[in-house]
Amino acid sequence: MRITSRGYTPDLDFPKVQEFLFEVHKETGTFQNWLPTRFENNHMDQVEDIRIWEEEGAQRRVMAVANPETKTIYFIQIRPGHPTLLDTIIRWIETHTASKKPNPAEEQKIHIINIGGDMEREAALRKRGFERGPVYGILRVRDLDTPIPDAPVPEGFTIRSVRGREDYEKLAANIRTVFGHGEWFTADTLEGIARGSFYIRDLDLVAEAPDGAIASFCTFRVDPVSRATELEPMGTHPDYRGLGLAKSLISEGMRRLKDYDPLLLYIDGAADNPGANRLYEATGFVKKGTYFYWSKMI
């Protein structure tokens, strides 16, 4: 069947793409594409730069999506076994990013992020002149049947759910500090996230310091259809690191998560630093894959 592409319309396409991502994951058991929660978190950003490919005909099955993280970093979601389509998508990303160059005369480096070990994608990227670069992040998955560590809350601290607007200013400032987000990340951003279909306040947790400061935070996002659950974000303010707060928060979150019938628990594109790596090992997450930058000058 012929496959055509068009721009992405969130209202119309979001449920179709979610279904497509879940379907491919169920069929293949792989994580080569994003799972639905990660897509939901990003699909309203740079909407004009998202592209969707679908089969012609009555069903109009989604075959692939190309979605950006920034103007020059792209992800590809695709049904496996379509190398020609993959080539078409990579070409589209090249042409589209080239059309958005601030200065058309200057060369620009573009990136497609890809999990290591997908031979079909790697071959397609190489064919178009992309080269593998540094690690982008780690995919971690946790077996939900393994015991949850006994990680007591450090003395004087309290673990509780986020209380909504009254916490958002403090929490947004904290997230900006931990992840180096710019001033664009505000209380309104958090309010937007809390409107997501994956959001469950009981699973949006903070550790509060004795003086009321938010010391550490983590959110478990449960996709309502697939029940795939993503841990995102996880951070501890630099003033409170190494006290056991993150381990204690994740452990409490995993105990609470049992009430929400999760399909699996994963962290997509997790940071690759000694603190994060040790934390996730200590809480039972296993490395399932490594995302790499694949880059090309255009």
Q: How many residues bind ligand COA (CB under 6 A)?
A: 22
Which of 53, 220 has the CB closer to ligand COA?
A: 220
Which of 73, 178 has the CB closer to ligand COA?
A: 178
Residue type, position 6, single letter = R
Residue type, position 235, single letter = G
Taking a C-beta distance cutoff of 8 angstroms, is the pair 212, 166 a contact? no
Among the residue ranges 35-43, 70-78, 95-103, 243-251, the one whose residues contact ligand COA (CB under 6 A): 243-251
Which residues inside 123-142 make contact with ligand COA, applying CB under 6 A?
none
Q: Which two tokens stand for residue 220?
A: 């478990």
The upper half-sphere exposure of residue 98, i.e. CA atoms within 13 Å in the direction of its Cβ, equals 11
Which of 172, 234 has the CB closer to ligand COA?
A: 234
Which residues inside 184-223 make contact with ligand COA, applying CB under 6 A?
216
Among the residue ranges 24-32, 94-102, 105-113, 263-271, the one whose residues contact ligand COA (CB under 6 A): 263-271
Which of 36, 244 has the CB closer to ligand COA?
A: 244
Name the minimum Å distance from CB 156 to ligand COA: 14
Residue type, position 283, single letter = T
Is 242 a binder of ligand COA (CB under 6 A)? yes
Which of 213, 298 has the CB closer to ligand COA?
A: 213
φ, ψ dihedrals at 124, nearest 5°? -65, -40
Could you identify the residue written with the tokens 């190494």? Answer: 242
> How many whole angstroms separate alpha carbon 204 and alpha carbon 195?
13
Name the minimum Å distance from CB 77 to ligand COA: 21
Is 159 a binder of ligand COA (CB under 6 A)? no
> How many whole angstroms separate alpha carbon 49 and alpha carbon 69?
10
Name the minimum Å distance from CB 268 to ligand COA: 9
Give CA separation, 120 vs 32, 34, 78, 99, 187, in Å.
Answer: 11, 17, 11, 27, 41
Is 282 a binder of ligand COA (CB under 6 A)? yes
Among residues 292, 272, 268, 288, the alpha carbon closest in space to that of 113 is found at 292
Sole binder of ligand COA in the list 178, 187, 225, 263 (CB under 6 A): 178
Which residues inside 8-37 make contact with ligand COA, applying CB under 6 A?
none
Sole binder of ligand COA in the list 200, 228, 246, 254 (CB under 6 A): 246
Taking a C-beta distance cutoff of 8 angstroms, is the pair 124, 86 a contact? yes
Give CA separation, 87 vs 104, 121, 130, 149, 297, in Å.
Answer: 23, 9, 12, 45, 17
Which of 25, 237 has the CB closer to ligand COA?
A: 237
Could you identify the residue written with the tokens 């409107």? Answer: 195
Residues that bind ligand COA (CB under 6 A): 178, 216, 234-236, 241-247, 267, 270-271, 273-276, 278-279, 282
